[in-house]
Amino acid sequence: MNRAIKFKLRNGKLVTIRRIREKDYEDIMKFMDKFSRDVGAVQTNQYAGQPKKDKDQSIKLYESDNNLFIGVWDGKNVVGIASVNKTAPNHPYRMGKRAVIGLMMLNKYTHNGIGNKMIQILEKWARENGVHRLCATVRHKNLPSIANFIKNDFIITGVKYDTAYINNQWLHEYLVEKLIEE
């Protein structure tokens, strides 16, 4: 993704979606802090009170050609982020042709079309960057996310049992995948 885009939400509001860069680190940390205390956090690995992500490591990830990190801005505030990461870019067995997707946004902004748009942007980057297989893991009761991936032609290819213990129950994860011609 080279340029910022304006995206119109279902409620008519315009937000900006663009690549996250080094200069955005503090804004992203503010978002992570808000998100980790919001209801959607339990659908991810984020949790209230978690340590701040390491600055150097985060910036390295934002700026690397092996990943795309995108953010959604409502005015000056980041309200959602998503990423696609090649997991082993230089591996001789072409394991670098696999990339993992993740998405999260504040609850107030969900069901407005952002998640669908972010998957499309991440998939476009994957196609342009030699990815063969796109993957994600989704908690088994996260119906909005499962539906979002299925809407974008991912299929459920596996299940991992007991991957997280939240609110007194073990939760499982579905693996969702999409093959890209490469």
Interface positions with ligand COA (CB under 6 A): 40, 43-44, 103-105, 110-116, 136, 138, 142-145, 147-148, 151
Interacting residues of 14 by C-beta distance below 8 A, sequence separation 6+: 6, 7, 8
How many angstroms separate the CA atoms of 101 and 126, rounded?
10
Rounded least distance, CB 40 to ligand COA, Å: 3
Rounded least distance, CB 113 to ligand COA, Å: 5
Rounded least distance, CB 23 to ligand COA, Å: 24
**Residue 48 or 147: which CB sits closer to ligand COA?**
147
**Residue 17 or 131: which CB sits closer to ligand COA?**
17
**Residue 58 or 145: which CB sits closer to ligand COA?**
145
Of 163, 167, 109, the residue nearest 175 (C-alpha)? 163
Rounded least distance, CB 90 to ligand COA, Å: 27
Rounded least distance, CB 41 to ligand COA, Å: 7
For residue 118 the two structure tokens come to 């972010």
Rounded least distance, CB 127 to ligand COA, Å: 20
Which residue, judged by CB position, is nearest to ligand COA in the bound state? 115
**Residue 7 or 59: which CB sits closer to ligand COA?**
7
**Residue 64 or 116: which CB sits closer to ligand COA?**
116
Strand locations in 24-154 (E): 67-74, 77-86, 98-105, 133-139
- b/e 139-155 (16+ beta carbons within 10 angstroms → b): beebeebbebbeebebe
Cα–Cα–Cα angle for 134, 161, 115, nearest 5°? Answer: 40
**Residue 129 or 163: which CB sits closer to ligand COA?**
163
From the CB of residue 130, how many other CB atoms can be counted at a distance below 10 Å?
Answer: 14
The DSSP code for 126 is H
